[in-house]
Amino acid sequence: MPGVMGIGVGYVNGKNNKKGACVVLYTLDASAAAKKGCPSCVALKRKKGGKNPKITSRVAVPVRTITSGRCSSHQKLQSAANYRRRIRPVVAGVSVGYPGASGTAGLIVTGAIRRAQRFLLSNNHVLNRNNSAGYSETIQPGGADGGRSGRDRIGQLYRFVRLRKNALNEMDAALSIPTSNDLLAPRYAKIGTIPGYVRSYAIGSRMKKVGRTTGFVTGVVESTHTDIKVDYGDYGGLGTIRFRNQTVIRSDTPISLPGDSGSVWLTANNYAAAVNFAGSADGKLSIAFPIHRAMRAFGVRVAQPTASLSKKRGKRRRRRNARK
C-alpha cells in the first residue's frame, strides 16, 4: 500500500501485553492510512473440525508514523565526543568506517573455532564502501570524524552479507579483520565485558546501546518479525530496499541517528541482542536485526578477554589444591 513502510507484531499499547498483541503498521502518513481503512484487521479462527477459517472479530491495528526509514550512516553529524575520537585499542561503540564515512564499531568477535583471531562486527554499509567484494579499508575514527587512510587504518573488509535491491534482505552485516589482534579490545564502551549473545528477546524488552552519534541510550522493543523498507540513497545503487523479520526499538529521545549504524543493542544483563542499521528521520525509532543471524552467517562468537598468564597459573594452582 502506498505510504506503508513496514508491518510487524507488537502490543496494542506499545509497552506491555495488558491489552494484548497486535499487528503494528508503520506508515509515512497515519491519517491517510486510517482513511483507507487500515486501523483494523480481521481475526481468524478455524472452525472445530473444519478447514476454512471463520471471522470471529476485528482487532485494533495501531498505525504509527515513521518519517522514512533510512540507513544511519554516511552523513557528517555532531556526535558524542567520547565516541568519535581516535582510540586504541578499539572497543565496541566508537566511531569506525572507511575514508569519507563513519558508523559504529558494533562488537568485537572471534572465530567460533579459531578463537585466536579477532574481528570487528558492524554493518555492511559501514565497513564496505560500495556493497561489493572490492577492497575497503577500515579506519578508526571513521572518515566523517577526521579519520584518514593509512594513518588511522586498523584493518580491512573481511566478509559481508550482500544487500540485494530486488529481493528480501535479512541483515546488514559485515566483518573487518584487523592488521593486528592487539588493535581490537574485547570490551564495549561504558559497559565493559559482554558475556555472550541471545537468540531471542520479547516485545517490550528494555535495551541499551552505545553509538557513535547518540552515545549511551536506552529503548524498548516495540515490534518484532517486522517487514520494512529502508532507504539507502545512492549507496551501492540500492535506493529503497526491503527487509524481513526485523526489530523496531522505540524511545522518546533519539536513539538511531546518522553515524549510529552498526551499534549493538544489549539486554539488561549486557548480552548482545540486535544490530542497529537504520532509523526514522527523528531518530526515535531504531531498525535492527537479531544479532544471532550475523553470528551464524559468519561463524563467530563474542570475544572474551584473554586471561593473563598469572591468572591462568593461579587457576591451575587452585585446581591442584582442590584435588588434594
| Confidence (pLDDT) at 42 | 35
**CATH architecture of structural domain 90-164+171-186:** Beta Barrel (2.40)
| Confidence (pLDDT) at 51 | 47
Fold match, 90-164+171-186 / 192-302: yes
| Confidence (pLDDT) at 306 | 83
Per-residue pLDDT of the chain (324 residues; tens, 9 = 90+): 777 888 999 988 777 777 788 888 888 765 555 454 443 333 333 344 444 444 333 444 555 545 445 565 544 444 456 899 999 999 999 999 999 999 999 999 999 888 899 999 999 999 999 999 999 999 999 999 999 999 999 999 999 999 999 999 999 999 999 999 999 999 999 999 999 999 999 999 999 999 999 999 999 999 999 999 999 999 999 999 999 999 999 999 999 999 999 999 999 999 999 999 999 989 999 999 999 999 999 999 999 998 644 455 566 666 666 665
| Confidence (pLDDT) at 80 | 57
- Which CATH number is correct for 192-302, 3.40.50.2300, 1.10.3720.10, 3.30.70.1340, 2.40.10.10? 2.40.10.10
- Region of 82 please: left (phi>0), alpha (psi -120 to 50) or beta: alpha
| Confidence (pLDDT) at 82 | 87
Ordered by start, the domain boundaries in the chain are 4-48+55-67, 90-164+171-186, 192-302
